[in-house]
Structure 1
């Protein structure tokens, strides 16, 4: 059983310091998931084919409309004209061919000795010979009658026919001839044949030659046409249905194409899709990682941060997210710009007060992202309402940085006015950036709600801060400033009952605050703790030398042991009084620890002188505990040094410096800082700071003659 005790303690330590943290983070993440899940839940639009739409329906995603894209491409292909090619050299080629025709006829005629007197058989043989030689060319299209007429013509008439045919072909094909115009051009060329030099047979033969050799020189180019149509189709951009695009407008008749688009973007899908839910989980996981990271950095920077800070941070963060969800329903009222009244900067302002600026800034950014998602749901937009998210980010940014360091409470007019100004400027910037039309009513309401939000933020902060300070016993800067008010009942009690102690505490406060700021500790906490550290002396004020105004010292009439009991009890009497007044634990701890386990030397030496027996030194030591924080260590040093310097006769810089060093060395060698995380380097800085402060207080002064009279 004894061996299992350390294991149980280790498990308990892990559970309290690590497991509980992750459980809190997980709970906050679950709350966010519940608030934001509406962004991924299927939205079934209330639409029916051939009925009037009752509301606008927007696309939740970006997607390509393949059917519409294909239709546009087919339209582009259909509207692209066919490509044609013009062959300028074809006229000469055809003239050459007709020349070859007549050369062949002349050659066969000479070989077969064909003339007008030849028999039909000889003519037919010659025609067949001509056709054989012209086989495979366009000349073979000529009829037997035409070839027979040309082969029986005289050489003179044949030469005239060649010239007429060549000229007619060249002139006819000198212009572009399409297939649709070919017959018209051929007929025109035939009509221009001269009748004076040709008989009817030759005219008919040349007519056939012209029809055979005049051909289209402006023809369809299949490859070029195909390429042009492909290029036209590829230049057509894809038809994209953008996120937030209105597919169905309120009051319109729902068509088949609208239904098809709604199905395409998934608004009419019946099957369950888990991917959006996983995406939301990843987004919230990222937010919660930042949430934990910022708290971890805060915890590392501070000293002995309790888990109550995480509880408080989680409540503010989750509460702010719930506030966003609640205010998102204000859009249902239909009032223009009412969304801008959301006082989200309350969260960043409170985190700024209770934690620090960095955590407040990061939390504002995370909550702005949450807000853009939640308002995207309520606005029936697609996942994110980016403009509203930007507005929330700027508003929370103002809440994180607007509060002054020494401001007791966020002032409604000052702080609220600054946040309201940022909100109004943010709304104006968004309106201008989006080119939103300005109208007196909607624009005025939007700016008015944005300004109102700034003042609501301050009112909520002032109302909620006492609840968090009391419920979590948080010592915020605002609370410290309130405790430093001279009209606080305890400070009035010290002033009235122990005025010397009061002025001593003021000096200690000034010295301790500056020294803490030098080493990066909480100077405000040290100042306020110093105000109250000697409140226990109000029980028996006359037993402390600073309150003995009449010069009578009660310790002269009592034993050193009784004096010891009275003096040593004042830190613990003070702690008890502070607890009765429900003062923060940090201030109570400083009051209880500010003497540590130091030795009451004066009465110890006095007791040794009056006793014949050996006096144990431990009887004249404070029972402790020793200082646990840097602020308590600085207050202890400032308290002892200020009291010692006050008791000096004619202090000067050299005496003060030696005294400061001696007390520092004495406390260090006595082990008074063993339980505190203050370093030697920091102690040296504290020593120099206290020495410099005391030099400014106890500087040398001019001694004026007693009989010095004012000159007139």
Structure 2
């Protein structure tokens, strides 16, 4: 009961610690990323003063509409748009009709009142008044009494001539376009053309006044059309935009008021604190951190033994890569062409691909490219995001995640580095062509050279840093497994020297297990290396195991079955203790401890039953366990049992071997030895088939050579 309580307390403590550590890593990741990208939202106020010489080019960090310049351009368009005028072709005829009415009225009054040259002034005045009253008041003739008197006292012939001349002059004058600016000129011209041969001076003077009153403008200003035209001209003016990256102030120029105004417009001289960009960066960082956390959760979800160390590894690699991007962003300050492309961003995906998984490497590549676009955007002092650099970082990092296969060997410097370098150089070449900017052969070569160098630097760094993570976090990588499979490893030499039979048994089990694991998609390299070490516990008492009894002496014949059981059952746990003491990976320790599960030690159980006077419980002759927890452990258990059984067979044949394998498989399956691992029945059948095929290659029928046939014939003849 106390052990159960202690175990529960330990589990609860580990759960709490993992929870705290997880959230701690989450917060630390967010804070570090926020600090690395903080420069993107800090004010980029340049050192510039009015009427002073600019010491550097100042570029706009954003796209901004220059409303003042746009409005000035619209006003210029309005002013330059001419006014609209309307030409009334019928205006001349209308004025001729009106002047005809005037002369008709004069003739009618003159006839009614019998006015002639001898008429008294009183009657003439009355006639003038009557003419004024009978004339169309809508026309502001403004004819003087003198002019009307001249026309009234004129003879009927002279009046008719005057009417004809006036009508003709008005029609001719208004047959062309007459604007208000040209009106006085048209009136004067018409008056000057009055014929002096048929008109006396008084009549010419009177008709001149009539012409000035009746000749009017027929080409008049159209206010509605003018307003419409000016509005259309203003609306056709495009907004004047200060584009992102546009140089507002050139180095060496005198800073003018207009430059200061534009700098204020794009926010470069805005001294007011604005919290919105900081909130935006917080949301961006939260998104990056959330995706980062989700990828770790997805990676760790399906693992049998959860460990917080993988979060630490993921966090350290990710943050160090982000910091490396930040450091390399300062290389732009050197103004060396293309030097910033040397950033070895592919090192992070290479490490994550080797230590965690391919998907973790790909996700980190995408996230780091986003972070890099912000960090390099800071160094440009133009935009928050540097899109070309984001594309370069993305392809470079993805090449590191995809090209290197984490289940093989260490990243090969030349092979992997060449592929990453080729991807980097191709991406930079494409970006240079997209931007369509002029470049020299020197700058072109430097851009491609630094980007290619980045690939080799990434692989060199990955190879140099990888052992630190393997050792510091006890990570079982393919590289570590290959190193552990070296026969010169102290524990393997211990097995070879102290228990040679066990060593050769382990090598055979390793061959069977590796091939079977590869068939079902399990980690064949782990199974092979674990098989090498799975019986290391037998070195504690090697002579008690039949494969090491080379002299034919069996110590078990002199001791009780119960003691034999204790010795035999102890070797998985003795081996686990030896492996732990040597600092071996826990995966190998677990397979060594689990490779017999809770199976029955049949030989000594049967022997005990023969010697006992009462029934012997099976539980006393079973291994304490635990049962196998992984597919690799299940395969090693089957391979170990089959190899030991086949080794003990006399004259094994393929048929006998196959039957034995199926018998052992059925026994383990019915005994529930695979109940606690995630291997399926289909996979177990594939394992059995693979082991059978491998052993067929070992115990195949051998051709008898002539010397052997001759020896057999001699033995027959001797009989």
Q: Which runs of 5+ in 2 are unaligned?
A: 710-719
The residue number in structure 2 matching 1:407 is 408
- Residues 30 and 285, structure 2, Cα contact 8 Å, conserved in 1: yes
Q: Between 457-466 and 293-302, report the one with greater CA deviation.
A: 293-302
1:333 matched to 2:331? The reply is: no
Query: How far 1:690 moved relative to its partner?
Result: 2.1
Partner of 1:89: 90
| Cα distance in structure 2, aligned partners of 1:155 and 1:708 | 167
Distance 2:537 2:563 in 1: 17
Rounded to whole Å, the distance in 2 between the matches of 1:8 and 1:99 is: 123
Matching residue within 679, 683, 686 for 1:685 = 683
1:470 aligned partner:
471
- Checking the alignment, whether the CA contact within 8 Å between 2:141 and 2:213 is kept in structure 1 is no
Whether 2:286 is the aligned partner of 1:288: answer: no
> Structure 1, residues 561-586: CA drift from partner, whole Å, max 9, x if none?
45434432332333233334422111
- What is aligned with 2:484? 483
Alignment pair present for 1:592 and 2:590: no
Q: Equivalents in 1 of 2:100, 2:39: separation in Å?
A: 88
Per-residue displacement from partner, 1:393-423 (whole Å, max 9, x unpaired)?
Answer: 1111111111035431111111111111111
| TM-score normalised to structure 2 length | 0.91
Aligned to 1:345: 346
Aligned to 1:623: 624
Aligned residues: 706
Report which stretch shifted further, 137-146 or 183-192. Answer: 137-146
Secondary structure of the 2:413 match is coil
- 1:695 pairs, out of 690, 693, 696, with 693
Q: Which residue of 1 aligns with 2:611?
A: 610
Deviation (angstroms), 1:148 = 2.1
Match of 1:107 in 2: 108
Cα 1:517–1:275 change in 2 (3 A) is same
1:20-74 C-alpha deviation (Å, 9 max, x unpaired):
3122111111111111111212233211111111122223333332222222222
Farther-moved stretch of structure 1 (216-225 vs 309-318): 216-225
2-side partners of 1:4 and 1:62: how far apart? 66
SS in 2 for 1:296: helix
Equivalent pair of 1:182/1:216 in contact (CA under 8 Å): yes
1:670-690 per-residue CA deviation (whole Å, 9 max, x = no partner) reads 33334x2426xx133222332
**Cα contact 1:406–1:481 (8 A) shared by 2:** no
Identify the residue that residue 323 of structure 1 maps to in structure 2: 324
Distance in 1, matches of 2:334 and 2:489, equals: 48
Tell me by how many angstroms 1:149 deviates.
Answer: 2.0
1:275-297 per-position Cα deviation (integer Å, ceiling 9, x unaligned): 11111111101110111111111
Contact 2:141 2:214 survives alignment (8 Å): no
Q: Counterpart of 1:455 in 2: which secondary structure?
A: helix
Q: Distance in 2 between matches of 1:279 and 1:690?
A: 58
Aligned to 2:86, the other structure's residue is in SS state strand
- Distance (whole Å) between structure 1 residues aligned to residue 635 and residue 35 of structure 2: 48
8 Å contact from structure 1 (residues 516, 686) kept in 2 = no
* Segment of structure 1 superposing worse, 56-65 or 385-394: 56-65
How many Å apart are 1:540 and its aligned residue? 4.9
* CA separation of 1:412 and 1:637: change in aligned 2, threshold 3 A: same
Classify 1:704/1:329 alpha carbon distance in 2 versus 1 (closer, same or farther; 3 Å). Answer: closer
| Offset at residue 141 of structure 1 (A) | 2.3
1:650 to partner: Cα distance: 6.3
Query: What's 1:388 paired with?
Result: 389
Q: C-alpha displacement at 1:301, in angstroms?
A: 3.2
Alignment partners' CA distance in 1, 2:166 and 2:261? 66
Deviations 1:475-497 (A, max 9, x none): 12332233344554544554566
Describe the shift of the 1:153–1:511 C-alpha distance in structure 2 as closer, same or farther (beyond 3 A): farther
Corresponding residue of 1:376:
377
Greater Cα offset, 269-278 or 148-157: 148-157
Please name the residue that 1:398 is paired with: 399
Deviation at 1:612, TM superposition (A): 3.8
Q: CA deviation at 1:593?
A: 0.9
Higher mean Cα deviation, 444-453 or 505-514? 505-514
Q: Aligned partners of 2:501, 2:148: CA distance in 1, in Å? A: 147
Query: How far did residue 605 of structure 1 move?
Result: 0.7
User: The residue matched to 1:294 in structure 2 has which SS?
Assistant: helix
Q: Distance between the aligned counterparts of 2:11 and 2:112, measured in 1?
A: 126
Tell me, in whole angstroms, the C-alpha distance in 1 between the residues paired with 2:162 and 2:658: 137
Alpha-carbon deviation of 1:384? Answer: 1.8
Deviations 1:100-144 (A, max 9, x none): 222222222222222233222222222211212225232532222
Corresponding residue number in structure 2 for 1:442: 443
Q: What does residue 452 of structure 2 align with?
A: 451
Say whether 1:427 aligns with 2:412: no
Question: In the TM superposition, what are the counterparts of 1:516-555 in structure 2 within 5 Å?
Answer: 516-517=517-518, 520-541=521-542, 543-546=544-547, 555=556
Q: Which residue number corresponds to residue 59 of structure 2?
A: 58
For 1:476 and 1:323, the matched residues in 2 are separated by 25
Moved more, 77-86 or 132-141: 132-141
Aligned partners of 1:639, 1:169: CA distance in 2, in Å?
A: 128
8 Å CA contact 1:542–1:554 kept in 2: the answer is: yes
Aligned to 2:579: 578
Change beyond 3 A, Cα 1:161–1:624: same
Q: Does 1:260 align with 2:261?
A: yes
- Answer with 153-162 or 36-45: which moved more: 153-162
Alignment correspondent of 2:568? 567
Change beyond 3 A, Cα 1:7–1:121: farther
C-alpha displacement of 1:708: 9.8
Q: 1:442 offset after TM fit, Å?
A: 2.4
Mapped partners of 2:145, 2:620: distance in 1: 151
Change (3 A) 1:13 1:565: closer
User: Which is further off, 459-468 or 59-68?
Assistant: 59-68
Q: Normalised by the size of structure 1, how large is the TM-score?
A: 0.91
Q: For the structure 1 residues 159 and 646, does the alpha-carbon distance in structure 2 shift closer, same or farther, using more than 3 Å as the test?
A: farther
Structure 1 residues 120 and 331: CA distance shift in structure 2, 3 A:
same
Distance in 1 between residues matched to 2:538 and 2:44, nearest whole Å: 71
User: What is the root-mean-square deviation of aligned Cα atoms in Å?
Assistant: 3.0
In structure 2, the CA distance between the partners of 1:125 and 1:642, relative to structure 1 (3 Å rule), is farther
CA distance in 1, matches of 2:486, 2:283: 49
Where in structure 2 are the equivalents of 1:99-248 lying within 5 Å?
99-138=100-139, 140-248=141-249
* Contact 1:74 1:233 (C-alpha < 8 Å) held by counterparts: yes
- Following superposition, the deviation at residue 318 of structure 1 comes to 1.1
Structure 2 CA distance for aligned equivalents of residues 697 and 156 of structure 1: 147
What is the 5 A alignment of 1:655-694? 658-674=659-675, 676-678=676-678, 682-694=680-692
CA displacement, residues 187-237 of structure 1 (integer Å, 9 cap, x when unaligned): 222222222332323222222222222222222212211222222222222
Structure 1 residues 485, 118: closer, same or farther in 2, change over 3 A?
farther
Q: Against the structure 1 CA distance between its residues 114 and 410, is the aligned structure 2 distance closer, same or farther, given a 3 Å change threshold?
A: same
Q: Is the 8 A contact 1:593 1:625 kept in 2?
A: yes
Distance 2:691 2:112 in 1: 139
Contact in 2 for aligned 1:412/1:459 (Cα 8 Å) = yes
What residue in structure 2 maps to residue 70 of structure 1? 71
